[in-house]
Amino acid sequence: MINVTRSFMPPMEEYEEYLKKIWENRWLTNEGPLLKQLQEQLEEYLGVNYVSMMTNGTISLQLALRALDIEDGEVITTPFSFVATTSCIVWEKCKPVFVDIDKDTLCIDVNKIEEAITDKTKAIMVVHVYGYPCDVEKIQEIANKHGLKVIYDGAHAFGSRYKGKSLLSYGDISTCSFHATKLFHTIEGGACITNNKEIYDKLQSIKNFGSVNGNYDNVGVNGKITEFNAAMGLANFKYIDKIIKERKEICETYDKLLEGKVVRPKVVENLEYNYIYYPIILKDEEETLRIIDALHEKEINPRRYFYPSLNTLSYIKDKGNCPISEDISKRVLCLPLYNGLSKEDVTKISNIVINNIK
């Protein structure tokens, strides 16, 4: 069976070295030494001031909204993402206001943001879809003009760099997911990334029951991540360049085989890409379902990612006007991509796709 993804695993002995340290330290969670080390390494790698790691990417999104005091306001967001981007806004009792995506980059259409701003708008929370950058300059300009906070859901952005800077260095806060299926993982895990000390202090407090120097001055939750997760992160961290390089080679093989047969997202200039996913856009939903069936028959599991368009979720009252996202979500497919996927398998998958295009 070939799944859409398969988790990267470091050599077991290297993980065990970190486990030995945990046994020596007898410090299992609560901002322990391995977590501190990993956060410092990530700050350096990403070129940012602060990385506050948490239990997962979803809690990171929720706490990002909390840390920036986005309460019961409207949050401008994209309908073309994983469900967590929308559900965290609703969970935090804010209203998601959907703005359609650009049909080429699949990120939010920045030319439609301003018309969605009202006097209740407090933030823009958008996604670097598949690791491709949003128009970060234009978004910051709009945010400055209207006094809005910017949160990037950077769950796909780890390892992608735009104009020489990590994509996770933009906005008031960028969040990331270190889930087992992501490019760099800590089994479960996530982070809020910021350059602002005050925001960082608030995040560190609210992920730890709201503690401030031993007093509980903030309302908090328990979003702490354990030393075992940090150990996996430290063991995986050494392999980031190798992970990205190998994925690049697989993507280039797909590119060669599928060129001219399927549509791919437009790649902007000044991007060093992380090759986290291999999405293809097909002619229509019928063709998409036909290809899925044909792949399933050979025990290959692609993923309808993202489907459905999030503005169509049953609990969303104001569905907005997002025809492009609704259209593309019906005919986009992520093909298998992971370290160790063989050239033969890539060829086999590509041939099934090609043979089912009319």
Ligand X SMILES: *Cc1c(COP(=O)(O)O)cnc(C)c1O
Residues that bind ligand X (CB under 6 A): 56-58, 81-82, 84-85, 127, 153, 155-156, 177, 179, 190
Which residue number, 80 or 258, has a Cβ lying nearer to ligand X?
80
Per-residue tokens: 308: 């459905």
Residue 59 CB, shortest distance to ligand X, in Å, is: 7
Per-residue tokens: 76: 């401008």
Per-residue tokens: 78: 């994209």
Per-residue tokens: 262: 């399927």
For ligand X, which residue has the nearest CB? 57
Which residue number, 135 or 153, has a Cβ lying nearer to ligand X?
153
Which residue number, 229 or 350, has a Cβ lying nearer to ligand X?
229
Handedness of CA 51, 53, 59, 63 (dihedral sign): negative
Residue 54 CB, shortest distance to ligand X, in Å, is: 9
Per-residue tokens: 122: 């407090």
Which residue number, 57 or 233, has a Cβ lying nearer to ligand X?
57
Residue 42 CB, shortest distance to ligand X, in Å, is: 15
Residues with Cβ within 8 Å of residue 285, at least 6 apart in sequence: 330, 331
Residue 25 CB, shortest distance to ligand X, in Å, is: 26
Taking Cα atoms as reference points, which of 289, 268, 276 lies closest to residue 332?
A: 289
Q: Is 214 left (phi over 0), alpha (psi -120 to 50) or beta?
A: left
Which residue number, 99 or 258, has a Cβ lying nearer to ligand X?
99
Distances from the Cα of 246 to the Cα of 209, 240, 241, 275, 302, angstroms: 41, 10, 9, 9, 19
Which residue number, 243 or 258, has a Cβ lying nearer to ligand X?
243
Residue 182 CB, shortest distance to ligand X, in Å, is: 6
Distances from the Cα of 77 to the Cα of 85, 97, 265, 307, angstroms: 8, 6, 19, 16
Q: Which amino acid is at 125?
A: M
Residue 180 CB, shortest distance to ligand X, in Å, is: 9
Which residue number, 128 or 202, has a Cβ lying nearer to ligand X?
128
87, 94 contact by CB (below 8 A):
no
Residue 240 CB, shortest distance to ligand X, in Å, is: 18
Residue 32 CB, shortest distance to ligand X, in Å, is: 20
Which residue number, 127 or 332, has a Cβ lying nearer to ligand X?
127
d(C-alpha 345, C-alpha 336), whole Å: 9
182 secondary structure, DSSP code: S
Residue 213 CB, shortest distance to ligand X, in Å, is: 29
Residue 160 exposed, middle or buried by CB count within 10 Å (0-12, 13-18, 19+): buried
Which residue number, 106 or 127, has a Cβ lying nearer to ligand X?
127
- Looking at the chain, how many residues does it have? 358
Taking Cα atoms as reference points, which of 337, 2, 68, 342 lies closest to residue 202?
A: 68
